[in-house]
Structure 1
Amino acid sequence: MAAVKIKWMRHRSLIAAVVAAMSLSAGCASPVLDSAEVSGPVVVAARDGADAVLLAHLYAGVLRTTGIEVQVRDGFVDRNAALAALDTDDATVVPDYTGLLLRHYDPGVAATDAEDVFEALARALPDELTIADYASAQNRAVLAAGADLIATRNISRISDLAGHCTDLNFVLTPEFEAAGGLGALSELGCEPRSVERASAAAAFGATSDVDTVAGLTTLAPVLAESSGSGVVTVPDAPDRAPMEEASSDMESPVFVAQNVVPVFRKAVFGELQLDALRVIAGELTTSDLTDMITRVATGEDAAAVADDWLAEHT
């Protein structure tokens, strides 16, 4: 397992080097090569939502391990407001998800694979911004259905759904739509018999109907509790593995990758801080994030929950 992690991290470093080279070729400074010292407090911005606040405290906490002053500033009403704070120097770092960030900066890109989305995002960012390595933790769109529905219709992947959608009802969460799930189904040629909106719990419960599919995201707590319920997630095409070359005959995922990643201002951090950011990239899993968000949503302090995780992983 350790060997796999080392190999993965070497791959991520290679990607970072590629991004750095791209920045240099465009006449821009690269934070990877920059030895600038941090001056003044670093501000990590958090939009509304338990996941955003938790991620802000995770990145703030890991940056504090390098000895710098870091503040979390929450209350940004949405992603646009948080990212706008980077432009006005009211924020230094904004943690978010790769696919949603790519849609913000370059909505015309059709990438869905985790590596492709990350690389496209690196190219799409304004010159004054950059990103660090992404984590395996994600909040990607996902479909869930009763095992009987999957078996009787011989569905092995989401791409198999296209011919069945007109016979199916879809119950979707706001998070599923925000992650681009409904648009991706439309691109697939999936035209549902009906579409309803509901909470994650209600959408998951609706799968008891043999003609109903739920649209959720990977951070929905009900998915983590679904073992033995008779409800299964419909597999998507896998992302290409680390160090695997993309090929024209490789099937891409239907749903856009939504991996956790920090966007930050260039020429702010030195190697100590960049190494600290890589801790989250190498350690944070979707399961970790789901557990922590559940704790925050049930009343625990986000900073304390983040500190508990950091104590185990730094």
Structure 2
Amino acid sequence: MTRTRFLAAGLLLAAVVPLAACGGGSDPLAPATSPAAGSTGGSTGAAGSVKIGSADFPEAALLGEIYAQALEAQGRSVTRQFNIGSRETYLKAITGGEVDVLPEYTGSLLNYYDKNAKVVQPDEVYAALQKAVPQGLTVLDKSTAEDKNSLAVTKETANAWSLKAIPDLAAHQADLTIGAPPEFKTRQQGLVGLKSVYNITPKEFRPLQSQATVEALKNGQVKAANIFSTDPSIVANGFVVLEDPQSLFGSDNVVPLVRSDKADSVKGVLNTVSAKLDTMSLADMVKQVVVDKRDASTVAKKWLANVGLA
């Protein structure tokens, strides 16, 4: 959870895990996964129900809850399967039919399917993604809400090393330790891309998850960390997000990924959700869930009501 994709929202938020987590196995939903904090299981087993999944970080589960409640408001039966795992795991769930809908991020998903993709602008990325998704899957309308991967450092490190942009790290590779989710090591939007795009190879890579990444950066255990651009810890701790002049991380708009056989039945509702969702609103909702410890289903319900979708 290398976003792929977070754009600092200017809100005092708490850490949101980069778009990734360890996963694998032939059955991505075994053992049974838990829903997002506070979300209900929804109606299960009903004919025509929509199965909604998510990656295992708060923003993804929140988006899944928004999709679920928006569909339920239109009388649809929904089954929730949130917090499945990393992209490598939850894409197995949708291609295998265990889930029908996933909240995704355009640039990160495109990079997963096409590691040679060069486009970086939002509309170009979206157009390329529409062509890159495999048969049986489709993406609905993208939102303007964006949450992308970034490399962040402390103000102290930025001052000591004269850092403004990612290329500036090249002069300090011998002392550079990067903290990020495990899959950052093998992803193009990770160490692979840092080498191929910026010719940067850190002295050490430390696989970390969730708040551990933020704490390691704060405590000096790592010199740079892969943090989502809407991650509240950036503002809260005064982290410096390094500029990305070659757009290694590109644009990463929130977009529903759906099974093609379900697309017609859900696109009206989910396209309307995408039309209403923007970066500031998303960041504020993440703050409520992560920092204020509010129930994700309550936060989703309030936003949907505010935009006339509940």
- Flag whether TM exceeds 0.5 (same fold): yes
Aligned to 2:232: 221
Instruction: Give, in angstroms, the shift of residue 293 of structure 1.
Output: 3.4
Q: Which residue pairs with 2:202 in the alignment? A: 192
Which residue is equivalent to 2:262? 268
Asked if structure 2 preserves the Cα contact closer than 8 Å seen for 1:206 and 1:212, the reply is no
For structure 1, the 5+ residue unaligned runs are: 1-38, 238-251
- CA distance, structure 2, for counterparts of residue 283 and residue 176 of structure 1: 32
* Match 2:180 to one of 173, 185, 210: 173
Q: What SS does the aligned partner of 1:202 have?
A: helix
- Rounded Cα–Cα distance in structure 2 between residues aligned with 1:94 and 1:213: 30
The aligned counterpart of 2:304 is 310
Give the TM-score of the pair, scaled to structure 2: 0.67
Specify which of 281, 298, 303 is matched with residue 288 of structure 1: 281
Q: Whole-Å Cα distance in 1 between the matches of residues 87 and 156 of structure 2?
A: 39
* Pairwise CA RMSD: 3.3
Change (3 A) 1:137 1:282: same
In structure 1, C-alpha distance between the alignment counterparts of 2:106 and 2:302, rounded to whole Å: 25
Partner of 1:232: 240
Indicate if the aligned counterparts of 2:169 and 2:200 stay in contact, CA closer than 8 A. Answer: yes
Q: Which runs of 5+ in 2 are unaligned?
A: 1-46
Superposed displacement of residue 146, structure 1: 4.1
Q: How far apart, CA to CA, are the structure 2 residues paired with 1:294 and 1:181?
A: 26
For 2:214, which of 179, 201, 214 is the aligned residue?
Answer: 201
Residue 277 in 1 paired to residue 277 in 2?
no
Q: Percent identity of the aligned residues?
A: 25
1:44 is matched with 52
Question: TM-score scaled by structure 1?
Answer: 0.67
Change (3 A) 1:125 1:294: same
For the structure 1 residues 195 and 310, does the alpha-carbon distance in structure 2 shift closer, same or farther, using more than 3 Å as the test?
Answer: same
Alignment of 1:96-111 (within 5 A): 96-111=104-119
Between 1 and 2, higher relative CO (CA 8 Å, sep ≥ 6) is seen in 2
Query: Which stretches of structure 1, 4 residues or longer, exceed 6 Å deviation after superposition?
Result: none
1:57 offset after TM fit, Å?
0.8
Q: How far, CA to CA, are the matches of 2:53 and 2:140 in structure 1? A: 16
**For 2:82, what is the secondary structure of its paired residue?**
strand
Matches of 1:78 and 1:166, distance apart in 2: 28
Tell me if the contact between 1:172 and 1:203 (Cα under 8 Å) persists in the aligned partners.
Answer: yes
Does the 8 A contact of 1:142 with 1:216 survive in 2? yes
Pairwise mapping of residues 1-314 of structure 1 onto structure 2 (< 5 A)? 40-74=48-82, 76-147=84-155, 150=158, 155-158=163-166, 160-161=167-168, 163-166=170-173, 168-174=175-181, 177=184, 180-187=189-196, 188-198=198-208, 199-206=212-219, 212-226=223-237, 229=238, 231-237=239-245, 252-270=246-264, 273-297=266-290, 299-314=293-308
Distance 2:150 2:256 in 1: 23
Is the 2:154–2:217 contact (alpha carbons within 8 Å) kept by the matching residues of 1?
no
- The residue type equivalent to 1:99 in the other structure is G
